[in-house]
Amino acid sequence: MLALHGTGVSDGIAIGKAYVLQRDLPEIPEYTIAHHQVETEIERLARAADAARRQLHTIRDHIPANAPAEASSFLDAHLLILDDKMLIPTAAETVRRERRNAEWALKGQSDRLSETFEKMDDAYLRNKRIDVNQVVERVLRNLLMPGFEEHLKVEPGEIVVATDLTPADTVMFKHQQVRAFVTSLGGPISHTAILARSLGIPAIVSVHNATRYVRPGEELIVDGKRGVLVVGPDKRLIAEYRRRQREIAREKRELNRLRLSPAVTRDRHTVRLMANIELPADVKAAVQSGAQGIGLYRTEFLFMNRPAAPDEEEQYRAYTKVVRAMRRKPVTIRTLDLGADKQVDGGQGARPVAVNPALGLRAVRLCLHDTSLFRPQLRAILRASAHGSVRMMIPMLSSQEELFRVLALVDETKSELKRAGEKFNPRIPLGGMIEVPAAAISADLFAPYLDFFSIGTNDLIQYTLAIDRVDDAVNYLYDPLHPSVLRLVAMTIQAGRRARIPVAMCGEMAGDPRYTRLLLGLGLNEFSMHPATLLEVKKIVRGSRLAALRKFAGRMLRLRDTQTVHDHVDRLNTEED
């Protein structure tokens, strides 16, 4: 018996036989082609890309009807990358200019794009290099292995162990009733993680060298919550985990009963639980979870994997679709949050890659620098506000000067729409994301000019602790309970309370049940999270007493040692449970 540890990214327990997926590419050759062979080589590259496109369409057509929206969204993203002029056309130009074979030219372009994404500050965008690599690998297989079999037959109930999985793999394996996924690579925001959570399949990522330690057909236990893979368990351990499976199933049934119940503490304090979404199709999951609105609509996904930015009308249609689907519940639309280092997506042109994109031209800075991106979005959001309860949110504010420039542009846009006879809500609430330490420290200076705050803990923690949570060398330092982080969160909530404006939280910390009671004690009364975690947070809210939690949070803010904070929070959660 062997226990391997990784990062649990989708809760649940699975027991079954191992299906070890080995999919190594042959070595990529490099050679020079004759002048008269150039066009033939470019045609060979085009045929391989066409084959990859057909394969992706076939997989998309076979997505189960009950699959979550994320499944088709990720496949659509791969199709868009395949059609991007920065990939196949640029590789073809390399073939023509340098007279190199198609495989080598494509791999070289893939490496350059991956390097660009690697330098990005935003963790999700940095993860897009995986999309590019997966699309390129598919084309390379068609070049090097014509007629390769897309998927080997996996028996129902098996557990897939692989180096990494593509969105297509994840969807098709679910269709084949795979019980769990285990990968050597990936992180909490990898496609395997996101799709596994959406599909309700236990999953562990970052189990280094998993394919080396697991043999095909070997009995496995996957504990998605603890991030533990047990290889060759004995009968006693299997019996224990089967008991846990029954307990988890019972807990899920109980959680589903809370969907329509109010999020109210035992001492009658109401809490608002909202959902984070990325695409209009995600609204379905938000509604099914019982979300009271959309606390974060990430609009940058409309701009990604396309040669040109979406125009005002396309954005207006997307925003309006979400607003109408939520049926008068609030929808918080965040303006574009991309970095200037993004060169392969809509509207970014050929700007140079920033040396340090974490401190560069991104989010509101980019929008103010290039108002040709910002103005159409402001118009679209304002027009969508005529159809429901819309709030606009500005990311990465760090100075009053930025805020005043945004307010001026919003006023200008309102005047333009009024002159044009367009309908909009002239009193649309305007809020700011608090995700830079400077904004948290100066929250009292921002508050008089804003209608609400929303704390973006993902960036706030990274900026405060000067670490990258997806960098294996330093991600152990990423700690939401670090005293400095808790003090910044408390300062923001207190500034909002003094200014009498609501304060929400939309980072991952808001959806992590470990922190729910502490955040309630700090005074947070609006949480926005992935729909999959909403009911568990609601259960904790309904079992809490706010008066006691306020005293507890006060004590936590006075502690100096991070480990002591962790110990107290763990003890609180254990006592309450």
Among all residues, which ones are annotated catalytic? Answer: 191, 506
Question: How many angstroms separate the Cα of 203 from the Cα of each of 109, 177, 180?
Answer: 32, 14, 6
In whole angstroms, what is the distance from residue 415 CA to residue 277 CA?
30
Sheet of 180-183: strand order equals 2-5, 228-231, 219-223, 13-21, 159-162, 180-183, 203-205, 7-10
DSSP state of 397: -
Q: How many CA atoms lie within 13 A of 340 on its CB side?
A: 19
Q: Are strands 219-223 and 331-334 parallel, antiparallel or unpaired?
A: unpaired
| Secondary structure of 270-285 in HEC code, one letter for each residue | ECEEEEEECCHHHHHH
Q: How far apart are the first and last CA of the chain?
A: 32
Residue that is written with structure tokens 């800075």 in the block: 365
DSSP 10-32: E--EEEEEEEEE--PPPPPP--B
Contact 513, 532 (CB under 8 A): no
Beta carbons within 8 Å of 82's beta carbon, 6+ residues apart: 49, 52, 53, 56, 88, 135, 139
DSSP 258-321: TTTS--B-TT--B-EEEEEESSGGGHHHHHHTT-SSEEEEEGGGGTSSSSS---HHHHHHHHHH
Stated as kind and residue range, the H or E segment containing 392 is strand 390-394
Q: Are strands 272-277 and 294-298 parallel, antiparallel or unpaired?
A: parallel
**Residue 367 three-state SS:** helix
Residue type, 529: M
Contact 452, 504 (CB under 8 A): yes
Tokens standing for residue 61: 């057509």
